[in-house]
């Protein structure tokens, strides 16, 4: 039997770094809180006394309270799967906060050792640490390590191996306080029922942990006795959870703090405090934040002309580069296929269907990667935690957290990285809600739809207002959705805003590159599966008639017929033509395609490729009566704004919410909202016009 060791600790305490260093595997090292939600397992590179050792990298947690999926996962693993030993990794530069979790873990009946990490930082700052003080206070072995510098790894593994062989008496630091008697009483009731880790469970029950209480399946007698004891405490202390937290911290400051020998404060902390004075300043904090965000967007999407020369920022530059490469390869592919005398449909399938669809989606990749790079830098330096904190108060009002802000902001660029960015939200409901509303932020690919239709139907200042109103509408819908879900779907379940304010640090290049590579990998995987299949299906529907003959005129295609059916649905909003329906459907491939589709349908060509065509296509749109009025065209825009996003983004949504049910809820909600709101605007608009 292999020995099982679990690594538990706060986010950013270096769990993943330690895990990777001792297993040599490639588990991701990152700075996103909550990224290690999946349980990661690996095998120790060496053997100890001929034994194989498996390791589990538990999600980062501040405590074992059931406020986040991470907390529940980690504690269930320790309590139920009973690893042979817990290696509690502690960030020595943040001792107090990290030891909070330690005091909880000590109460569980499992051997434990402490890996005191970041010892290199302490050394650099000339801070000395008295390991004995900590060992005496906590009663477990403490080994100083630097996961980053790979120091002390053999020592910690040997100590863990030794400790795993001996039974450890679970102990609670709370016993010495006034609460001790009540804990003893409840603990002994639990022990009589053969429930292990009785101190731990007793304390959680006093804290009011309903989840744990339910999972125990106590008999009525025991339950009554326990609840009686708890109620007795509650007479004196209303907030038992707060009381217990205070006592734990009291213990830590009285007994552990003095392990840090150098009275001088850690240099890093003071540096951080100084920077924080400016960056989270009451008045300057917000403008600085918006400036940083603006700069980031500019670096990703910026493109301007100066003295006749077009200057492109990294994101745009990379996008043009990729676009060029994709087009060239497409050309080569087409030439090669005609060279080998491939049939028309085979060329169409490969070039337009497979390559065209997947290629179009890869066109987003540079934006995604460059955006992610900047976000990761802001994350790694520690700034993002402050930004979320600044925004939290405003967002809390409509069911979101400050951490929703960044994904939503990214949504104005591209929903794909935005939806992925929602990973920073630990609370499941907040994460789902953020993912749901992010696509309402009008993304870059939707902009051509607005500019194209607005130019065709509106003039002057009205045109500007129309586009502006679309952006505002998206934001309003996000807020309304937040309020609705908060009130009717999620109900209570509010979680406190717990977010670590890590010290400011220079980002680690290796970590950044690894994050980018991970992003690329997950994107390529998606492009190779869901997007590939859907592209082929859409190509087929566009290129074939119901008699399975290839069509020259798109009007004869299956898609046109399907569009004809959907046209009925859009009739009440004034765009009940099959062309408009077709454009909406094609928009699921990528939103730019909506405009391209109008070009194809007019028989004139792609207006996005050829400036001169734009005017003709616009003229065709009005003369062909695709939209019964400018208002109808506006409602078409509203529908495209709120309806489910493109396939790439839908793929990201389903991947991130990890639940078929929730993916369905999100997409159906978006669809219904898009329909109702465009219907409402059409009705109200017509009413207003009737009156004036
Ligand atoms: P996790 O959230 O606990 O998995 O933490 P990570 O392993 O992802 O580490 C967070 C960051 O701290 C990474 O940038 C690591 O490179 C860095 N880090 C981890 N351990 C050490 C260490 O011992 N010394 C230093 N200087 N940096 C470390
Ligand atoms: Mg980690």
Q: Encode pLDDT of 428-483 as tens digits.
A: 888 899 999 999 998 877 887 888 888 888 887 888 888 889 988 998 999 999 88
For the Cβ of 127 lying below 6 angstroms from any atom of ligand 1, the answer is no
Whether 586 lines ligand 1, by a CB cut-off of 6 Å, is no
Residue 612 has a pLDDT of 65
Q: At what angle do helices 558-570 and 532-543 cross, to 10 degrees?
A: 90
What ranges in 28-169 are assigned the alpha helix state H? Answer: 69-76, 95-105, 119-124, 131-138, 153-165
Does ligand 1 come within 6 angstroms of the Cβ of 600?
Answer: no
308 pLDDT higher than 80: yes
Q: Does ligand 1 lie within 6 Å of residue 88's CB atom?
A: no
173-266: which CATH architecture? Orthogonal Bundle (1.10)
For 83-87, 123-127, 136-140, which range has the lowest pLDDT when averaged over its residues?
123-127
Q: Is 29 in the pocket of ligand 1 (CB under 6 A)?
A: yes
Of the listed ligands, the closest to the CA of 147 is 1
User: CB-side exposure of 362: number of CA atoms within 13 Å?
Assistant: 21
Q: String of b and e for 62-72 (b: at least 16 CB within 10 Å)?
A: bbbbbbbebbb
Q: What is the dihedral of CA 612, 614, 617, 618, to 10 degrees?
A: -130
User: Ligand 2 center to residue 293 CA distance, Å?
Assistant: 26
Q: Is the distance from CB of 23 to CB of 71 less than 8 angstroms?
A: no
Q: Whose CA is nearest to atom 9 of ligand 1?
A: 14
Contact of 438 with 408, CB cutoff 8 Å: yes
Report which bound ligand comes closest to the CA of 89. Answer: 1
Would the CB of 382 count as within 6 Å of ligand 1?
no
* Å from CA of 32 to ligand 2 middle: 8
Atom of ligand 1 nearest to the CA of 121: 26
**Residue 436 burial (CB < 10 Å; 0-12/13-18/19+)?**
buried
Question: Is 14 a pocket residue for ligand 1 (Cβ < 6 Å)?
Answer: yes
Summarize pLDDT for 221-278 with one digit per residue, the tens.
989 999 999 998 888 887 888 888 888 988 988 888 777 776 455 555 667 778 888 8
When the pLDDT of each residue in the chain is averaged and rounded to a whole number, the result is 83
Q: Where are the domains of the chain?
A: 3-164, 173-266, 290-301+368-488, 350-356+516-691
Atom 21 of ligand 1, residue of closest alpha carbon: 148
Provide the pLDDT for residue 265.
Answer: 53
Atom of ligand 1 nearest to the CA of 33: 2
Burial 669-685 (b: 16+ CB within 10 A, else e): bbeebbbebbbebbeeb
Ligand 1 within 6 A of CB of 21: no
Confidence of residue 36 (pLDDT cuts 50, 70, 90): very low
Separation of 61 CA from ligand 1 center, angstroms?
15
- How confident is residue 117, by pLDDT bands cut at 50, 70 and 90? very high
Q: Which of 8, 13, 17, 518 maximizes ligand 1 atoms within 8 Å of its Cβ, making it the mutation to test the pocket?
A: 17
Fold of the domain built from segment(s) 3-164? Rossmann fold (3.40.50)
pLDDT of residue 24: 82
pLDDT at residue 32 in the model:
34
Residue 27 in contact with ligand 1 by CB distance below 6 A: no
Determine whether the shortest distance from the Cβ of 13 to ligand 1 is under 6 A: yes
Can you tell me the distance from the alpha carbon of 203 to that of 103, in angstroms, rounded to the nearest whole number? 12
Q: What is the mean pLDDT of residues 603-614?
A: 64
Closest atom of ligand 1 relative to the 118 alpha carbon: 23
How far, in Å, from the CA of 514 to the mean position of ligand 2?
13
Under 8 Å between Cβ of 300 and 313: yes
pLDDT band at 2 (very low <50, low <70, confident <90, very high): confident
Average pLDDT over residues 35-60: 79
| Cα Rg, the chain, nearest whole Å | 30
Segments of 140-236 assigned E as strands: 141-144
pLDDT at residue 561 greater than cutoff 60 = yes
Q: How confident is the model at residue 589 (pLDDT cuts 50, 70, 90)?
A: confident
Ligand positioned closest to the Cα atom of 38: 2
Residue 30 has a pLDDT of 39
Span from the CA of 148 to the centroid of ligand 1 (angstroms): 6
Residues 34 and 10 sit within 8 Å (Cβ to Cβ): no
Question: What is the Å distance from ligand 1's center to 364 Cα?
Answer: 31
User: How far away, in angstroms, is 116 Cα from ligand 1 center?
Assistant: 12
H/E segment holding residue 469: helix 460-484
Q: Does ligand 1 come within 6 angstroms of the Cβ of 116?
A: no
Give the pTM. Answer: 0.55
List all residues 6 or more positions away from 490 whose beta carbon is below 8 Å from its beta carbon.
399, 429, 433
CA of 87 to the centre of ligand 1 (A): 16
In short, whether 17's Cβ falls inside 6 Å of ligand 1 is yes
State which ligand 1 atom lies nearest to the alpha carbon of 10. 3
Give residue 11's pLDDT.
87
Residue 383 pLDDT greater than 80, yes or no:
yes
Does 16 sit in the ligand 1 pocket, CB within 6 Å? yes
Q: How far is the CA of 389 from the centre of ligand 2 (A)?
A: 21
In what order do the strands lie in the sheet containing 112-117? 40-43, 53-57, 3-9, 85-91, 112-117, 141-144
Which ligand does the CA of 33 lie closest to? Answer: 1
Q: What is the Cα–Cα distance from 5 to 369, expressed in whole angstroms?
A: 35
Compute the distance between CA of residue 408 and CA of residue 73 in angstroms, rounded to an integer: 27
CB contact set of 461 (below 8 Å; sequence gap of 6+): none
The fraction of the chain above a pLDDT of 70, given in percent, is 90
Average pLDDT over residues 89-117: 93
Q: CB count, 10 Å around CB of 466? A: 18
Got the DSSP string for 512-569? HHHHHHHHHHHHHHHIIIIIHHHHHHHHHHHHB-TTS-B-SSGGGSHHHHHHHHHHHH
Instruction: Give the model's confidence band at 530: pLDDT under 50 very low, under 70 low, under 90 confident, else very high.
Output: low
Give the number of the atom of ligand 1 that is nearest the alpha carbon of residue 9: 3
List, for residues 155-198, the tens digit of each pLDDT value. Answer: 999 999 999 998 888 889 888 888 888 999 999 999 999 998 99
What number does the ligand 1 atom closest to the CA of 13 have? 3
Q: Say if ligand 1 is within 6 A of residue 93 CB.
A: no
Find the mean pLDDT for residues 118-128.
Answer: 85
Atom of ligand 1 nearest to the CA of 19: 7
Query: DSSP character for 310?
Result: E
Using alpha carbons, list the distances in angstroms from residue 286 to 271, 386, 570. 21, 10, 43
Nearest to 503 by CA among 97, 45, 134: 97
Give the mean model confidence (pLDDT) for residues 660-684. 95
The answer, yes or no, to whether any atom of ligand 1 lies below 6 A from the CB of 147, is yes
Instruction: Give me the pLDDT at residue 652, please.
Output: 87
Centre of ligand 2 from the C-alpha of residue 59, in Å:
7
How far, in Å, is the centroid of ligand 2 from the Cα of 97? 17
Tokens at 558, concatenated: 């299956």
The pair of structure tokens assigned to 586 is 């094609």
Q: What is the pLDDT of residue 605?
A: 62
| DSSP states of 637-675 | HHHHHHS---HHHHHHHHHHH--HHHHHHHHHHHHHHHH
CB neighbour burial string for 366-383, b if at least 16 within 10 angstroms, e if fewer: bbbbbbbbbbbbbbbbbb
Q: What percentage of the chain reaches a pLDDT higher than 90?
A: 26
Neighbouring C-beta atoms of residue 604, cutoff 10 Å: 17
Contact 407, 421 (CB under 8 A): yes
Q: Where are the beta strands (DSSP E) in 183-308?
A: 303-306
Q: pLDDT digits over 66-97, tens only?
A: 777 778 888 888 998 899 999 999 999 888 88
Atom of ligand 1 nearest to the CA of 510: 16
Structure confidence at residue 264 (pLDDT):
54
Does the pLDDT of residue 427 top 80, yes or no?
Answer: no
Residues 545, 551 contacting (CB under 8 angstroms):
yes
Q: Rounded to whole angstroms, how far apart are CA atoms 143 and 161?
A: 13
Atom of ligand 1 nearest to the CA of 89: 3
| 146 CA closest ligand 1 atom index | 23
Coil, strand or helix at 4: strand
**425 Cα to the center of ligand 2, angstroms:** 15
Please state, in angstroms and as integers, the Cα–Cα distance from residue 13 to each residue in 47, 90, 91, 116, 376, following that order. Answer: 25, 6, 5, 9, 18
C-beta of 146 in contact with ligand 1 (< 6 A): yes
Q: Lowest mean pLDDT of 98-102, 249-253, 410-414, name the range.
A: 410-414
Query: Which carries the bigger pLDDT value, residue 407 or residue 401?
Result: 407
Q: What is the pLDDT of residues 646-660, one digit of tens each?
A: 888 898 899 888 889
């Amino acid at each position: 039997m292999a020995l099982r060791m679990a690594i538990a600790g706060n986010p950013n305490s270096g769990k993943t770094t330690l895990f990777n260093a001792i297993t040599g595997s490639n588990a991701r090292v990152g700075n996103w809180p909550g990224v290690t939600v999946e349980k990661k397992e690996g095998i120790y590179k060496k053997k100890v006394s001929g034994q194989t050792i498996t390791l589990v990298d538990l999600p980062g947690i501040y405590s074992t309270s059931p406020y986040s999926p991470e907390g529940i996962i980690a504690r269930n693993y320790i309590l139920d799967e009973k690893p042979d030993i817990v290696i509690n990794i502690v960030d020595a530069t943040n001792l107090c906060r990290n030891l909070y979790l330690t005091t909880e873990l000590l109460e569980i009946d499992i051997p434990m050792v402490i890996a005191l990490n970041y010892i290199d930082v302490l050394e650099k700052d000339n801070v000395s640490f008295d390991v004995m003080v900590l060992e005496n206070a906590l009663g477990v072995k403490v080994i100083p390590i630097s996961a980053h510098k790979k120091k002390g790894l053999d020592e910690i593994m040997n100590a863990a191996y030794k400790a795993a062989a001996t039974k450890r008496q679970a102990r609670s630091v709370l016993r010495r306080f006034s609460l001790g008697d009540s804990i003893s009483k409840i603990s002994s009731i639990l022990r009589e029922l053969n429930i292990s880790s009785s101190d731990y469970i007793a304390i959680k029950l006093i804290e009011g942990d309903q989840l744990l209480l339910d999972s125990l399946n106590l008999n009525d007698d025991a339950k009554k006795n326990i609840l009686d004891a708890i109620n007795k405490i509650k007479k004196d202390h209303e907030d038992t959870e707060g009381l217990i937290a205070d006592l734990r911290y009291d213990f830590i400051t009285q007994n552990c703090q003095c392990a840090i020998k150098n009275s001088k404060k850690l240099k890093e902390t003071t540096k951080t405090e100084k920077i924080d004075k400016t960056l989270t300043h009451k008045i300057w904090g917000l403008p600085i934040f918006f400036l940083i965000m603006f700069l980031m967007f500019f670096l990703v999407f910026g493109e301007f002309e100066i003295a006749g020369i077009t200057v492109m920022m990294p994101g745009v530059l990379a996008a043009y580069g990729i676009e060029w490469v994709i087009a060239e390869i497409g050309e080569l592919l087409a030439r090669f296929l005609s060279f080998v005398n491939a049939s028309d449909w085979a060329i169409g399938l490969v070039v337009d269907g497979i390559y065209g669809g997947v290629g179009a989606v890869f066109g987003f990749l540079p934006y995604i990667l460059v955006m992610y790079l900047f976000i990761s830098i802001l994350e790694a330096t520690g700034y993002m935690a402050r930004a979320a904190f600044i925004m939290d108060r405003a967002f809390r009002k409509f069911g979101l957290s400050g951490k929703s802000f960044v994904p939503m902001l990214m949504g104005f660029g591209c929903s794909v990285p935005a939806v992925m960015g929602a990973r920073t939200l630990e609370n499941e409901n907040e994460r789902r809600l953020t993912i749901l509303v992010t696509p309402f932020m009008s993304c870059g690919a939707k902009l051509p739809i607005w500019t194209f239709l607005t130019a065709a139907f509106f003039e002057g200042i009205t045109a500007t207002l129309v586009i502006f109103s679309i952006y505002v509408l998206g934001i309003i819908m996000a807020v309304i959705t937040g309020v609705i879900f908060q009130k009717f779907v999620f109900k209570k379940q509010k979680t406190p805003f717990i977010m670590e304010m890590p010290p400011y640090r220079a980002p680690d290049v290796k970590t950044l590159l690894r994050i980018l590579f991970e992003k690329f990998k997950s994107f390529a995987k998606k492009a190779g599966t869901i997007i590939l299949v859907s592209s082929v299906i859409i190509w087929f529907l566009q290129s074939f008639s119901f008699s399975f003959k290839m069509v020259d005129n798109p009007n004869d295609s299956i898609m046109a017929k399907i569009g004809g059916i959907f046209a009925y649905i859009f009739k009440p909003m004034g765009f009940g033509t099959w062309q408009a329906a077709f454009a909406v459907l094609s928009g699921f491939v990528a939103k730019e395609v909506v405009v391209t589709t109008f070009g194809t349908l007019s028989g004139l060509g792609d207006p996005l490729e050829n400036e001169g065509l734009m005017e003709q296509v616009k003229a065709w749109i009005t003369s062909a009566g695709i939209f019964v009025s400018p208002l109808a065209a506006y409602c078409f825009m509203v529908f495209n704004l709120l309806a489910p996003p493109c396939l790439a983004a839908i793929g990201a949504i389903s991947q991130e919410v990890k639940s078929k049910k929730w993916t369905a809820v999100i997409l159906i909600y978006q669809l219904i909202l898009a329909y109702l709101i465009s219907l409402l605007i059409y009705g109200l608009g017509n009413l207003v016009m009737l009156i004036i």
